[in-house]
Each structure stands twice: as structure tokens, then as C-alpha cells.
């Protein structure tokens, strides 16, 4: 047996890794309170973005979701694949929209940026990795199928694929 350790061994769940966060949308410092987003009207109050109306003298700054939309740089993608998507497109997209609508009141930074037809099927771009994961889970719960998820912690980026053949 080789006594040298394999430098390419997989990381175990109990091992901690120090991640370098290159996500420019995740600030090191909090915005001043109160802050209002001029695009969507969300307000930063008590340490989080909410839909609460800010006072008139609030600092003006784009929220992270509007900044992502402005830069056209999603935090997550969900790719919908398979014959089932082509045959039941409206029902599948209704679940996608229902998931986003359900999250919006409590999580103003979780939004759908766009839905596009791609060679593989349909691709949903989101402003938040959690919403992308939630959409994939909602589709699996509603229609079964197979979900695969890849998350790049360093970039706070998630790519999910939901697939159902028939």
C-alpha cells in the first residue's frame, strides 16, 4: 500500500475549507440603513432587504438583485430538459413562476431574470442560487424526474438541471 497521501482525494463533509469569495454582489460591509433600491423599491432595513417602504431620506442604491439584472449576470440557472418539458411546457413554467411568486414576499433578492429556449430545452436564470435550487426541487416534487445540482461556492453560483423523459 502506498504510504503517500493522495493530494487529489475528495474533500470529506467534516473537513472545512476556506473559500475565497469572488462574488462582487456579496458585499463585505452592509449598506447604510435605511437604503432604498430605485429600480424595484426594496428597502434595506434592520439588516436585510425587504419590501417595506423606506423613509423619504433613505440612501439610494441598487439592491443586489437589480444589480445582477442590470449587469445580466445570474447567480443561478435551471435547465429544464426532456420530452416532458416539450409536451407540458405551460404546466412546467407555471410551477417555475409559482415558486418565484411564493419566495418573492419574504425574499426580495430571489427573482427570475429570464426564461429562454435553448438547445437542451428551457433555461431559467435567477438572481439568487437559492431560488434556482428551489425551482429544481419544486419541479421534482410536482413532476418527479431527475435533478442534478452543481454549486460553485467561490462564485456563489448554482447550476441545476431538471430532466424528465416522458
pLDDT digits (tens, 9 = 90+) for 34-73: 999 999 999 999 999 999 999 999 999 999 999 999 999 9
Q: Which three cell numbers stand for residue 88?
A: 407540458
pLDDT for res 24:
62
- What number of other Cβ atoms are within 10 A of residue 134's Cβ? 21
Rounded to an integer, the average pLDDT of 77-99 is: 97
Residue 136, pLDDT above cutoff 80: yes
Over residues 63-75, the pLDDT tens digits come to 999 999 999 999 9
Query: b/e per residue, 86-115, with b = 16+ CB within 10 A?
Result: eeeeeebeebbeebbeebeeebbbbbbbee
C-alpha distance from residue 64 to each of 4, 18, 35, 72, 102 (Å): 46, 24, 12, 12, 19
Q: What is the mean pLDDT of residues 152-156?
A: 84
What DSSP character marks residue 15? S
Query: pTM (2 decimals)?
Result: 0.83
- Does 86 score more than 60 pLDDT? yes
Amino acid at each position: 500500500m502506498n504510504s503517500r497521501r493522495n493530494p487529489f482525494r475528495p474533500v470529506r463533509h467534516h473537513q472545512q475549507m476556506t473559500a475565497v469569495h469572488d462574488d462582487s454582489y456579496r458585499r463585505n460591509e452592509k449598506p447604510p440603513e435605511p437604503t432604498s433600491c430605485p429600480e424595484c423599491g426594496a428597502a434595506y432595513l434592520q439588516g436585510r432587504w425587504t419590501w417595506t417602504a423606506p423613509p423619504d431620506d433613505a440612501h439610494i442604491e441598487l439592491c443586489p438583485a437589480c444589480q445582477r439584472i442590470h449587469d445580466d449576470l445570474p447567480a443561478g440557472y435551471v435547465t429544464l430538459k426532456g420530452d416532458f418539458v416539450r409536451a407540458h411546457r405551460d404546466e412546467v413554467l407555471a410551477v417555475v413562476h409559482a415558486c418565484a411568486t411564493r419566495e418573492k414576499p419574504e425574499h426580495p433578492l430571489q427573482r427570475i431574470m429570464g426564461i429562454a429556449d435553448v438547445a437542451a430545452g428551457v433555461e431559467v436564470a435567477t438572481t439568487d442560487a437559492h431560488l434556482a435550487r428551489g425551482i429544481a426541487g419544486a419541479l421534482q416534487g410536482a413532476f418527479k424526474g431527475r435533478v442534478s445540482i452543481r454549486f460553485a461556492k467561490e462564485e456563489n453560483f448554482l447550476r441545476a438541471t431538471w430532466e424528465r423523459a416522458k
